[in-house]
Each structure stands twice: as C-alpha cells, then as structure tokens.
Amino acid sequence: MSTTSIVTIFAICVSILLVIFRWNKGNSDTETKLLKLPLIGDLHSSPLDKPLLNWDSWARDNGPVAIPKLFGIIPVVVLNSYDAVTELFSRRSQWYSNRPASVSMEMITDDKSGQSKFTLMHDYDEHLKLHHRILAPSLGALGSPRYRPLIVLESKQLLVDLLNAVRTSPGEISTHSIFPLLERTQASIILALHYGLRIADCEQKILHDVIDIQTQITHVAATPAMPDFIPLLRHLPAFFSPWKRAADKLYAAQVDLYLRLFNHGRQSPGWNATKQAISTAEKSGIDKVPDLDIAFNMATSVQGGMETFPRQILWLFIAALHRPSFVTRAHALLDEVVGRDRMPLFSDRAGLKFIDAIASEILRWRPIAPGAIPRRADRDDEIDCIKIKEGVTIMANAWGIGRDAKVFDPALGDLDDFVPERWLRVVDGGEEKLMTELPLPVFGQGRRMCQGKRVATDGLYMQIASILWAFDIEAADGEEVDPWEMVVAGFMTMPREVKFRLRPRGDWATRVIERDGKDVGKALDAFLGVVDQGEK
C-alpha cells in the first residue's frame, strides 16, 4: 500500500474518531456526574459530595474478591480484604506486579508498551528493579538519618507559616487556605531530599512549574483518552493526532523540567537522592544508565511524595474537629514528653507513640488513594473459587482493607470512627507498643508498594506532633463538619473546604515558634550547603 493510501485511511479513521470523541464530550456532563472516582466510578452509587459513603457496604455485600463491570462491560477485580490482597499482591506477586496498560501514560514519555519512563507505570522488569535499587538507599532506613533534619526544620517553618496565617486572617482559616502552606512544606522536604532544592515560600516559580506538570500527568493517568481504548491510534503521525501533539508537548515540558532539576541535584553541594542515584547506578554494573532515565525516576518519586502527603495530612484537621478527644490526650502527652520550651524532635518519638498512632489512624480512616494504584493479572488464576482472567485490571480497596474486621478489631472502636488507640497495645511491664504489624493499605502491598513509605510516616509523625504541640483546633462558629464530604482530585480524595479556628495553645507556643522559627531559613540553607553529609 502506498504512503498516500495509508495516510488517507488514517485521516478517515481520525475523522470518525473525532466525531465519536466530540459526541462523548457532548455527553460528558452526565458522565462526570456518574464517574466519581477513577475505576471505582459509580459502582457503589454514593452521592456526589460524599463519594465513599456507600463504598464500604458495597465491599461487604460483594465479599473479599468482587468482579464488577465498569460501564457494564469491562470487568475489574476488586480486592476487599487484607487476606485477598496479601495472597495476590504478596504471595503470588510475580503475576500481579505490573500496571494495566496506559497508552496515554506511555505516549507522554514517548515509550513503548509497559516501558513508561514514569517508573510508577513501568512494567516490573529488570529495568524497573534497577531503578528501585537506585532509589532505595535514599528513601529507606539508610537514608532517613540524612533527611530527618530537613523534616524537623521544615516542620518549624510550617508552624511559623501557620502562625502568620492565623495573624493575617484571624477567623478565616480553612482547609483550603492552609493547603498551600502544607504543600510548600512537603514540596520543600521532597525537593531538598531529591535535588538539594529548598522552596522558601509559596510563590517560588519552580514550585509552580513542578505542581503544574504533576497536575497534567495525574489528569492523563486518571482520564483515559481515545488511544487508551483504541491503542492503534498511538501510531498516528502528530499532524493527524491531537493526542500525539498534546503528549509530545507534555513530554518535552517534562524533559526540560526534570533535566533542570536533575542538573541542580548533581551540582548542589550537599548529599541528595540524585547524587546517590548516580553513584548507585555507576556501581550497578550496568554500562551507563541514561541521565534522562534517572531524571524521570527522581521525578516519579517527587510526584509520589508531593501530591499525596499534603492531602493526607489535611484529614488531621477534620479528625480533630470531628473527634476532639484525641487532641486533648495528645496535648497532655506532648506537654509531658516535649514540654513547653521547645518544639518536638525525632528523639521524642519513643515517648510519643500516640502521635504515630494518630498518623496510622489518619492513613487507615481516610486513605487518600482509596483504590490505590491498579495492577494487572499476568495469568489466568483463581482465588476463593473466583476466576481471574489474564490481563484483567485489579485494584486493592485500601478503604475496605482498613475496615477489615479480621485485621482491625471492631471491639477497639467502630471501624468508621477515628480511634488512634486501636494502634496501641499494652505489653508486659505496662508499656504501650505501636502495632506496626497492622497494615497501612494506602501504601499498596508487595513489590510495587510505595517506596516513600518511611519518608511519609516520618513526615506525618513530625508534622502532626508539631501542629498539635502548637495549636488548638476548634470549629468555626456555625460550621458543621461532616467527615464524609470530600472532593476527588485525580486518583485522590481530600476533604471539602471546612472553616475552623487555629489558636496557639498559649503565649509560650507563640514565643517558641517566633524564637526557633527566626533562623530556620539560614539553618536549612546551611544544611543543604554541607558539602558531604556522608554520601559514599
């Protein structure tokens, strides 16, 4: 067939598809109302402003392994119990560690099927294993002594920012108005850890460049386009394909940003994950790992750390407004262990298990990614007499697993309630122990589980301890708090806007924040400027 005929056939196909696409767009109002969460969609028929209200009863009614059909056509396996997810994602992990194909996600990194440079979407092959090894020394137990001072300093800066916000607009604090402050804090921790880059304030351009690209990527991942339904479309030349033109543009923007950040990391004076990755890659025995691949690996991790955490910690405020009794206990403990003349530290952690219990309960009670990130079955299989077809999409219901009565004892508190005590047990000698053996399903499970779990739980400990040490969190006059109300952002949920009062717990808190916050900027710059903090 001549080139002209191929192009003509393509052109006809595209015209037909554009008509279909426009028709779909024309009907998108009804569709968006129905599809409240990617994948979960409308299966459980919850109201729009409370998208998870009926999700748990849906899971209970459908059993540990359910196979609903999306749009009544596409089967999706939903794992509703901890046993089921452990069996498939951990014990049989060799068949459940890949992601479902996402043509759009491959197009935006100019890659073939299963080979997205965005490592979250890459198949679990030798390439991905290498990139996991490259990242692990920075995010795991080995890396934590290096990044913890950052988390402490940024938590101090967060208290300064919150105090300023309270002073500038007393009575006007809301989950939405403090969100940028939480976002800056986490961005600064994550960008410093990966590239030695500090984000001093919310206006910094690089912060918005990063957030803008991340928002575009999440939109692509959460909103399938025509090429995801008709993969052949990916081969259309850019001239005929609006999808290819958009993907090429986003790819070019990513390459530009990620290489800028990568070079910043490589040239910064102190230790950071980029330098660590380059050094680990050199020792890996692989000839030369391309800079661009390392740059995308870092960027994937940065996105994992920045997009999730600030949304997750917002639920602390909702929990405090909904169940204030746990705040009273935390205040008493913080006074006893930390006192009123300094802010909390990591060295206080052994005495502050209740703070870690609050963090774990936030992750269980309101997992921001209730359906986690989906996987793909790589063989025909069977579990609990239910057949799983090769190629089918599988999601772990993090929300339901956190309410699995076989794992979380309902006698310790209704599973829909916020009860941090369920994470503590009194052991011999009367001491309280944190139940680290209980699962945190929001981080996923098995080979693909979140690599940044330790950075996230360290950050939650320090930020929760700092916020509760400094502030009383009180309902604003006339404001009703309904913890079921939430909005959906990509794969994630966050509380709908709630107004509240944030009040320093006393003059002592204001005095310490002002005293210790004064030099945080200088301390952070000095920390990031240290020539060698031990990278070997």
Nearer to ligand HEM, 299 or 415 (CB): 299
Minimum distance from CB of 509 to ligand HEM (Å)? 26
Nearer to ligand HEM, 104 or 445 (CB): 445
Q: Name residues whose C-beta falls within 8 Å of residue 431's C-beta, 6 or more positions apart in sequence.
A: none
Residue 295 binding ligand HEM, by CB under 6 A: no
Burial class, 1, CB count within 10 angstroms (exposed 0-12 / middle 13-18 / buried 19+): exposed
On whether 385 is known to bind a ligand per the annotation, the reply is no
Q: Which of 37, 442, 520, 528 binds ligand HEM (CB under 6 A)?
A: 442
Specify whether the CB–CB gap between 80 and 66 falls below 8 A: yes
- Chain positions 352 to 371 lying near ligand HEM, rule: CB under 6 A, are 368-369
The span of 35-43, 247-255, 297-305, 512-520 binding ligand HEM (CB under 6 A) equals: 297-305
Q: How many CB atoms lie within 10 A of CB 125?
A: 12
Specify whether the CB–CB gap between 166 and 500 falls below 8 A: no
Question: CA angle at residue 239 from 238 to 244, to 5 degrees?
Answer: 25
Residue 78 binding ligand HEM, by CB under 6 A: no
Give the burial string for 45-62 (b: 16+ CB within 10 Å, else e).
ebeeebbbbebbebbeeb
Percent helix, strand, coil in the chain, to 5, is 55, 10, 35
Rounded Cα distance between 247 and 105, Å, is 9
Nearer to ligand HEM, 398 or 419 (CB): 398
Q: Which of 276, 308, 463, 493 binds ligand HEM (CB under 6 A)?
A: 308
Q: Which of 17, 139, 220, 513 binds ligand HEM (CB under 6 A)?
A: 139
Integer CA distances (angstroms), 52 to 192, 370, 423, in order: 35, 9, 23
- Chain positions 454 to 473 lying near ligand HEM, rule: CB under 6 A, are 455-456
Q: Which of 451, 463, 466, 493 binds ligand HEM (CB under 6 A)?
A: 451
Minimum distance from CB of 93 to ligand HEM (Å)? 10
Residue 120 binding ligand HEM, by CB under 6 A: yes
Nearer to ligand HEM, 372 or 528 (CB): 372
Q: Which of 227, 304, 310, 504 binds ligand HEM (CB under 6 A)?
A: 304
Q: Name residues whose C-beta falls within 8 Å of residue 273's C-beta, 6 or more positions apart in sequence.
A: 135, 138, 139, 143, 193, 194, 195, 265, 298, 301
The span of 329-337, 404-412, 427-435, 440-448 binding ligand HEM (CB under 6 A) equals: 440-448
Question: CA angle at residue 52 from 49 to 55, to 5 degrees?
Answer: 145
Rounded Cα distance between 485 and 322, Å, is 12
SS3 for 418?
coil
Residue 300 binding ligand HEM, by CB under 6 A: yes
Question: CA angle at residue 96 from 283 to 373, to 5 degrees?
Answer: 85
Each residue 182-211 as x (binds ligand HEM by CB under 6 A) or -, in order, gives --------x---------------------
Residue 275 binding ligand HEM, by CB under 6 A: no
Known binding-site residue numbers: 450
Known binding-site residue numbers for heme: 450
- Applying CB under 6 A, which residues contact ligand HEM? 119-120, 139, 190, 300-301, 304-305, 308-309, 312, 368-369, 372-373, 442-445, 448-452, 455-456
